[in-house]
């Protein structure tokens, strides 16, 4: 693989190098469930832990969110923590927060520096700019994401989404799309490779659902810096267990290097 990549370092973990990072989601509803899930995930050795706070039943209580994030940090140690809140239309769990309230929660999380990274949708361009200013001020890395749960856009549109994320100051650009045919997987791989040659930041791409599993296994070959796997419970369609994902990547890399 001969793809030039800019590396983002988070707690010593390099995101964007030759070796793909594996991110596992925490999706518990209560603090107790979340901490038990985090302990189980940490035993499996992920590179990044994503707390999907839209599954948290007390998401409206900012103080409880901050306390839970700190408790996750104590368990995770030096494993980078990504904080994500997705609304239902972004493929997330239904939440009682307005977009303004969600932004305020993300701002507080950044100000308290209880996580290492946040993820926010490109869809909300106005909010994106103000949130980026806060995250940058407090040293929190920001992933800017585009999700399409209906279909896979044309290659040019996918590339443009990632370029737009970079133009807004993203540390990492992310695209997740829904394939309807094997051809869509090729579109995503080509878009990933082309975007990787144009962007100066790392990128993450994936096709969702069962058909898209191959992009989670082999996306790194085309330039995707992170792949998502199930630690205990899945947060998106098509995620596979971390043990299986590690084995698959190891096998592919073993025979790539030996040939």
Q: Which residues are catalytic?
A: 147, 174
Which of 109, 11, 122, 10 is closest to 53 using CA atoms?
109
41: Cβ–Cβ under 8 A, 6 or more apart, which residues?
Answer: 24, 26, 49, 231, 232, 242
Q: Which helix (H) or strand (E) holds 176?
A: strand 172-177
Report which of 148, 169, 171 is spatially closest to residue 226, judged by C-alpha positions. 171
The Cα-based distances of 197 to 4, 203, 219 in angstroms read: 7, 11, 15
Q: How far apart, in whole angstroms, are the C-alpha atoms of residue 145 and residue 83?
A: 13
Residue showing tokens 């030096």:
78
Residue 255: Cβ-neighbour burial (10 angstroms; 0-12, 13-18, 19+): exposed
Cβ contacts of 53 within 8 Å, gap of 6 or more = 59, 65, 83, 84, 85, 105
Cβ atoms 162, 184 nearer than 8 A: no
């Amino acid at each position: 693989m001969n793809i030039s990549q800019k590396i983002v370092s988070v707690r010593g973990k390099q995101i964007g190098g030759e070796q793909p990072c594996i991110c596992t989601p925490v999706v518990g509803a209560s603090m107790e469930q979340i901490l038990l899930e985090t302990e189980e995930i940490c035993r499996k050795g992920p590179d990044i832990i994503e707390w999907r706070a839209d599954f948290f039943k007390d998401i409206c209580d900012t103080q409880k969110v901050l306390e839970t994030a700190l408790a996750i940090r104590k368990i995770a140690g030096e494993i980078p923590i990504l904080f994500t809140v997705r609304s239902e239309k972004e493929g997330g769990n239904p939440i009682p927060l307005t977009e303004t309230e969600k932004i305020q929660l993300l701002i507080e999380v950044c100000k308290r520096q209880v996580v290492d990274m946040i993820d926010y949708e490109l869809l909300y361009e106005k909010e994106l700019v103000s949130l980026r200013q806060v995250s940058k001020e407090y040293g929190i890395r920001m992933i800017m994401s585009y999700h399409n749960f209906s279909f896979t856009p044309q290659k040019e549109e996918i590339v443009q989404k990632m370029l737009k994320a970079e133009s807004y100051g993203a540390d990492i650009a992310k695209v997740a799309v829904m394939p309807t045919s094997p051809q869509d997987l090729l579109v995503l791989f080509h878009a990933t490779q082309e975007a990787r040659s144009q962007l100066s930041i790392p990128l993450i791409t994936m096709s969702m659902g069962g058909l898209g599993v191959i992009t989670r296994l082999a996306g790194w070959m085309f330039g995707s810096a992170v792949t998502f796997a199930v630690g205990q419970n899945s947060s998106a369609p098509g995620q596979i267990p971390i043990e299986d994902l590690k084995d698959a990547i190891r096998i592919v890399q073993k025979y790539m290097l030996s040939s």
